[in-house]
Structure 1
Amino acid sequence: MVIAAAARAHDPITTKLTWSKEISRVVYQHCASCHRPAGRAMPLLTYEEARPWAKAIRDEVLNRRMPPWDAVKGVGEFRNDPSLSLPEMDLLVNWVEGGAPEGDPVYLPTVPGVPEPPVEPGGRGREVRDRLTLTAPMTLRAIHPSGAVEVVAALPDGSIKRLLWVRDFRPEWNRSYVLRTPLRLPKGTQLMAYGAPVEIW
């Protein structure tokens, strides 16, 4: 902390963005579920906790390693995706490169409490191992992969919908991908899993 404090004292402040006003809100929304006391990673809920990690945060954000999300962007839209938007990424990067100032703590939002666990689909899903042809219509709400996989739906009208692509599977997250908008699939739709089996709801 002495080294971090010394480095902080020599960082020129060239931005009006501050931890108290803008950055804490981004961190609380996207990072607090893991980066908290007794969480999966080091806590980042206060300026004192986050400031020594500022440059590492910038690098992880720019490389899209944090927040962790192992589905390929552009394939499907999911309600439980914690990824940062481009404007949020710009805020974090510009704050760090502008000296990572704290700002006036009077503007700090309330520190979030322990988050509710993500809502998982209830009951047992239907397994798709290679290919499944629907014998009746269904509304697809979530997909739970068991490994790296691309999931595609071939509809009876000949159209193709790419539903999910998990290229770098991380078993420690053990997550279901909950569709932002449930998808109605007609009878005769072929669901194909190129890779590991998946469960669908």
Structure 2
Amino acid sequence: MNKSLVTVAAGYAMAVGLLWPREASPHIPVTTTVLFNREIVTLFQSKCLQCHITGGMAMSLATYEEARPWAVAIKEEILDRRMPPWPAERGYGEFANDLGLTTRERDFLLSWIDGGAPKGDSEPPAYMDHSTHWMLGTPDVLLTAEPAAIVEPGRPVGFKRIIMDTAMTQERWLRAFDYKPANPGIVRAAFFTLLESGQYLGAWTPWRTTMQIPDDVGIRIPSRARIAIDVVYQSVSELVVDAPRLGLYFAAARPAHELATTVLKPQQPASTTDAFAPRLTANIVLPSDTSIVEMRPDMGPGGRSIEVKAKRPDGSSQVLLWIRNFRQEWQTSYVFQRPVTLPKGSIVQAIAYFDSVRRSPAQFTLTFSSHEAAPGSFTSAFGPRPPVPGR
């Protein structure tokens, strides 16, 4: 678990200052056909209201009256790529939980702000808040944190670990989960593992509240297993008690493939006395045909960027993930739109870069979830698998 998040409190305070409302001047003539009640509210509902809503962790953008005072600040945030908080570079991997703005969405927002931020006369669509009901139906098993997590006032943004006991008397195969913080306005992310084995289960963020495993794949949950939840809590001004619930969904029978966890990390962390920004690498040779479902990079203090590559035995290569500016305060997992399938002998390599001035040795981990690929399943980002002589 990365404890370096304690260093981001000052940065978060700076971000709050940068986001102080600076509305578009009411005297600017309207020069755009983009309207809040038509295009902008729909964009905000899909990319922003998971955090920017009454009771959420940031100011509400749900209505025109709430959003317009922030128009200029919103422009600054999107131009600097601070918001939405999705650090992965577009064009390197396709992700189901991608929160980043497309070029079209960015252009809509800028046109609306620069064009006078008009409201429009039509009624805006209603926002469907999914935080109060189970998105995947009634869970097979429902767990509640006992004891609840206590978030102390003045505590910097950082991790707290919650342990939940499944109390199951026999092993079962997990196919999905849904996580419900009691106080979602203070939770930035949560990462789930089996306490005893370290098996990675998945992640929760405000914009990706459920985890679903691909069909015919499952995670084996042993009897009496306990689930460790590493929660990133926002800094709060008064004591908050959070008693989250976790809904588990199981397969009716053992699936065809078991999801496994692989953790990459460099053999030797770089020295704090390095006079240049260190470059650390870690890699693994895949022992069998493998489908990668999800990745979670985690960088230590001074972590600046990370790139994940796959190199096939035929010499072709592909960048699976590139994070140019790693943000400790907005950690997430990266769930592939379709599992990336690689042949046996492929090399998965992570390359991480760190600031030259830091207070502890550079270190990182890359956790990825994968399963043995089904025969003939090579329809990944690399394209169809070439025929192998003798097979």
Same fold (TM over 0.5): yes
Do residues 107 (structure 1) and 120 (structure 2) align? no
Which residue of structure 2 aligns with residue 167 of structure 1?
324
- Share of identical aligned residues, percent? 40
| 1:64-105 deviation per Cα after TM superposition (whole angstroms, max 9, x unaligned) | 22211111222212111111111211111111111111112x
Unaligned 5+ segments in structure 1 are none
- Shifted more, 188-197 versus 167-176: the winner is 167-176
**Bigger relative CO (Cα 8 Å, ≥ 6 apart):** 1
Counterpart residue type for residue 119 of structure 1:
M
Q: TM-score, normalised by structure 1?
A: 0.88
Does structure 1 conserve the Cα–Cα contact (< 8 Å) formed by 2:284 and 2:349?
Answer: yes
| CA shift in 2, pair 1:49/1:157, >3 Å | same
**Alignment of structure 1 residues 1-201 onto 2, 5 Å:** 7-8=25-26, 10-104=27-121, 106-115=122-131, 117-119=209-211, 125-129=261-265, 130-147=282-299, 148-195=305-352, 196-201=364-369
2: distance between equivalents of 1:189 and 1:21? Answer: 47
Structure 1 residue 6, shift from structure 2 partner:
10
Q: List gaps (5 residues or longer) in structure 2.
A: 1-20, 132-207, 214-218, 220-258, 266-281, 300-304, 353-363, 370-391
Question: Contact conserved, 1:120 with 1:176, CA < 8 A, in 2?
Answer: no
Greater share of helix residues, 1 or 2?
Answer: 1
Tell me which residue corresponds to 2:240: none
Contact 1:58 1:93 in 2 (8 A): yes
Q: Does the CA contact (< 8 Å) of 2:291 and 2:342 recur in 1?
A: yes
In structure 2, C-alpha distance between the alignment counterparts of 1:50 and 1:63, rounded to whole Å = 19
Structure 1 position 5, deviation (Å): 8.7
Q: What amino acid is aligned across from residue 150 of structure 1 in structure 2?
A: E
Q: Is the 8 A contact 2:24 2:72 kept in 1?
A: no
Runs of 4 or more above 6 Å deviation? 3-6
Give the TM-score taking structure 2 as reference length: 0.47
Q: Which structure shows the higher strand fraction?
A: 2
> C-alpha displacement at 1:120, in angstroms?
7.0
Residues 128, 191 of structure 1: 8 Å contact kept = no
Aligned-pair CA distance for 1:127: 0.8
Q: Does the 8 A contact of 1:137 with 1:186 survive in 2?
A: yes
- 1:101-158 C-alpha deviation (Å, 9 max, x unpaired): 1112x43011231456142766762112211111111101111101242111111111
- Please give the root-mean-square deviation of Cα atoms over the aligned residues, in Å: 2.3
Q: Distance in 2 between matches of 1:11 and 1:124?
A: 56
Task: Measure how far apart 1:7 and its partner are.
Answer: 4.2
Contact between 1:32 and 1:112, CA under 8 Å: does it hold in 2?
A: no
Greater alpha carbon shift after TM alignment, 76-85 vs 42-51 = 76-85
